[in-house]
């Protein structure tokens, strides 16, 4: 079963712009006429953007790192807190990584994802493999992403839905005390906000 | 190959230069990535030459600037793409208008 079929039973009901509807109508027609394959579009977008789009989410994370009161609001009321920074269009819950707890986001049904904050979902996020294995064997999946967590760390899996999307607030790396909010935002990757990576401290002499 | 960005597209200059931030392409909303991807995919499949699309985009941008429209880069891209598809006889504008209406009215809700 394809992702598109999955999503039929899983309606996205956030307010959608006229332009977005117009583009979906066009894609629907082009796919029907076999002029375009949605998978090819996914691949192309992924290839060109790599990990574009995590900038908004990175700003949210950096603000939370430097402003404890903002962090509290963000964890308590994600949707309202990102609106403070001018981001919206998504009902959001932010989950915090801390010593002993690692959070990871998946959408087991399809590919629900906080677009407004971290751009388009990467191809692997939409894959059946990730959607099933993230729940079944998260520790193994994380190791494949290069995150090797000790057994003592609890892994929490958050299953996104059309109603609620999740964003991981990664741990602020050590050695970043003197960095500005903008510098911090540059370090935050898309994968860290999905919870399949950690934010690495800057390499000595790299700045 | 889909997986290798074409320099002809990625390195467009002047008014048609792709919006970037810190060197990376920026799609502010998901639909912008979709319309970009559809256009590139169809040029790969030789439905049209990239330079044909680029010429259409240049014309669209010039028109919008002349009219003082506040439309965004990808909105102009969308118009240029629709015009090119119609001009090439690949998409019937009436069929597209009807499909658009079906989405706006909620009769269709395909997600890609």
pLDDT (tens, 9 = 90+) of chain B, 112 residues, equals 455 667 678 777 788 888 876 556 778 888 999 999 999 999 988 899 999 999 999 999 999 999 999 999 999 999 999 999 999 999 999 999 999 999 988 888 776 6
Q: How close B25 gets to chain A, by Cα (Å)?
A: 5
Neighbours of A56 (CB within 10 A): 20
Q: What is the pLDDT of residues A38-59, one digit of tens each?
A: 888 988 887 787 534 457 889 8
Question: Does A110 qualify as catalytic in the annotation?
Answer: yes
Buried b (16+ CB within 10 A) or exposed e, B52-75: ebbebbbebbeebeeeeeebebbb
Distance between CA A68 and CA A37 in Å, rounded? 46
Instruction: Give dist(CA B107, CA A168) in Å, integer.
Output: 35
The reply to whether residue A21 touches residue B35, judged by beta carbons under 8 angstroms, is: no
Confidence band (pLDDT; 50, 70, 90) for A16?
low
The structure's pTM equals 0.53
Closest CA–CA distance from residue A108 to any residue of chain B (Å): 16
Bridging pattern class, strands B20-21 and A165-169:
unpaired
A60 backbone φψ class: left, alpha, beta (φ>0; ψ -120 to 50): alpha
Query: What are A111-154's pLDDT values in tens digits?
Result: 788 877 887 677 789 889 999 999 999 999 999 988 999 999 99
- Option in A22, A28, A48 nearest B78 (CB): A22
Report which DSSP code applies to A165. E
Whether A107 is a known active-site residue: answer yes
- Would the pLDDT of A168 be above 90? yes
Catalytic member of A2, A17, A111, A161: A111
A20 is catalytic: no
pLDDT greater than 60 at residue A104: yes
Q: What are the tokens at B98?
A: 């009807």
Gap between the Cα atoms of A135 and B12, Å rounded = 42
Residue ranges, CATH 3.90.330.10, chain A: 55-194
Nearest to B111 among A4, A50, A51 (CB): A4
Q: How far apart are the C-alpha atoms of B18 and B2, rounded to whole Å?
A: 18
State residue B6's pLDDT score.
Answer: 74
pLDDT at residue number B60: 97
Nearest to B2 among A22, A44, A119 (CB): A44
A37 and B104 within 8 Å at the Cβ level: the answer is: no
Q: Are B27 and A36 an interchain contact pair (Cβ–Cβ within 8 Å)?
A: no
Is the distance from CB of A57 to CB of A190 less than 8 angstroms?
yes
Cβ of residue A29 closer than 8 Å to a chain B Cβ = yes
CATH of segment(s) A55-194: 3.90.330.10
Contact residues for B107 (Cβ-Cβ < 8 A; gap 6+):
none
Identify which has the larger pLDDT, A2 or B51: B51
For residue A189, pLDDT beyond 90: no
Contact between A104 and A156 under an 8 Å Cβ cutoff? The reply is yes
To the nearest whole angstrom, how far is the Cα of A71 from the nearest Cα of chain B? 24
pLDDT on residue B79:
96
% of chain A residues with pLDDT over 90: 54
Domain ranges of chain B: 46-112
Report the distance separating Cα B28 and Cα B16, nearest Å.
17
**Cα–Cα–Cα angle for B38, B44, B48, rounded to 5 degrees:** 85
> What is the per-residue pLDDT for A86?
78
CA dihedral B104, B19, B26, A202 (to 10 degrees): -170
Phi, psi of A44 (to 5 degrees): -65, -45
Task: Confirm if A134 and A195 have CB atoms less than 8 A apart.
Answer: no
Residue A44 confidence (pLDDT): 87
- Selected residue of B12, B21, B33, B48 to mutate for chain A interface (largest A Cβ count, 10 A): B33
Position A202 scores a pLDDT of: 73
> Residue B93 and residue A96: Cα distance in Å, rounded?
49
In angstroms, the CA B41 to CA B90 distance is: 14
């Amino acid at each position: 079963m394809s992702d598109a079929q999955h999503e039929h039973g899983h309606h996205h009901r956030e307010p959608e712009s006229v332009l977005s509807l117009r583009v979906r109508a066009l894609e629907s027609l082009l796919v029907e006429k076999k002029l375009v394959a949605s998978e090819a579009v996914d691949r192309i977008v992924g290839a060109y953007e790599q990990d574009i789009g995590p900038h908004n989410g990175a700003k949210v994370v950096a603000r939370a790192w430097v402003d404890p009161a903002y962090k509290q609001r963000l964890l308590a009321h994600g949707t309202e807190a990102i609106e403070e920074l001018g981001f919206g269009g998504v009902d959001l819950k932010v989950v915090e990584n801390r010593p002993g707890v690692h959070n990871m986001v998946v959408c087991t049904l399809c590919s629900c994802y906080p677009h407004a904050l971290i751009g388009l979902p990467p191809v692997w996020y939409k894959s059946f493999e990730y959607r099933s294995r993230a729940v079944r064997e998260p520790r193994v999946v994380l190791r494949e992403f290069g995150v090797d967590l000790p057994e003592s760390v609890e892994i929490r899996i958050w299953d996104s839905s059309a109603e609620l999307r999740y964003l991981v607030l990664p741990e602020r790396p050590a050695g970043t005390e003197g960095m500005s909010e903008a510098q911090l935002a540059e370090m935050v990757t898309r994968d860290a906000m999905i919870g399949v990576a950690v934010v690495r401290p800057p390499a000595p002499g790299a700045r | 190959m889909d997986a290798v960005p074409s320099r002809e597209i990625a390195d467009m200059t002047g008014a048609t230069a792709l919006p970037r931030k810190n060197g990376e392409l920026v799609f502010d909303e998901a639909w912008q990535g979709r319309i970009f991807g559809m256009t590139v995919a169809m040029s790969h499949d030789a439905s049209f030459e990239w330079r044909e699309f680029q010429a259409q985009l240049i014309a669209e941008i010039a028109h919008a600037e002349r009219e003082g429209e506040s439309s965004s880069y990808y909105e102009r891209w969308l118009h240029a793409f629709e015009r090119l598809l119609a001009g090439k006889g690949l998409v019937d504008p009436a069929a597209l208008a009807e499909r658009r209406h079906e989405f706006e009215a909620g009769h269709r809700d395909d997600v890609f």
